[in-house]
Structure 1
Amino acid sequence: MKGIGKYWGWVVFVVLIVAWLTSDFGPGALLALSALSTVYFFFRAPAWCGALGRDGACRNNSKGALMGCHINQHKWQKLKMVVIRERWRQLARELFPNATTALATAGGILAVMSGIASVLQPIWGKGW
Structure 2
Amino acid sequence: MKNAGYLLLVLAIVFWAMRDIGPGTALIAFGFAGTWTLVGAPVWCGAETRKGLSCRKNSYGLLLGCSYNQHRWQKISDLFKPKEIREAFRGWFTGAANRIATCALAISAMGTLITLSQFLMSFA
- TM interval, shorter chain, is 0.7 to 0.9
1:93 is displaced (CA, Å) by 1.6
| Structure 1 partner of 2:18 | 22
Aligned counterpart in structure 1 of residue 95 of structure 2, from 94, 98, 105: 98
What is the alpha-carbon root mean square deviation over aligned residues?
A: 2.0
Gaps of 5+ in 2: none
- 4+ residue runs of structure 1 moved beyond 6 angstroms? none
Q: Which amino acid aligns with 1:38?
A: G
Query: Is 2:7 the partner of 1:11?
Result: yes
CA distance in 2, matches of 1:37, 1:14: 9
Q: Is the 8 A contact 2:46 2:94 kept in 1?
A: yes
CA distance in 2, matches of 1:113, 1:82: 21
Query: Could you give the per-residue CA deviations for residues 102-123 of structure 1, whole angstroms, max 9, x where no partner exists?
Result: 1111111221221122111243
- Tell me the TM-score normalized by structure 2: 0.87
Gaps of 5+ in 1: none
Query: Could you give the per-residue CA deviations for residues 76-96 of structure 1, whole angstroms, max 9, x where no partner exists?
Result: 222222222222221232111
- Tell me the TM-score normalized by structure 1: 0.85
Q: Which amino acid aligns with 2:55?
A: C
Query: Is 2:71 the partner of 1:74?
Result: yes
Query: Could you give the per-residue CA deviations for residues 33-77 of structure 1, whole angstroms, max 9, x where no partner exists?
Result: 011101111110100001001132111100011110011111122
CA distance in 2, matches of 1:68, 1:84: 17
| Structure 1 partner of 2:57 | 60
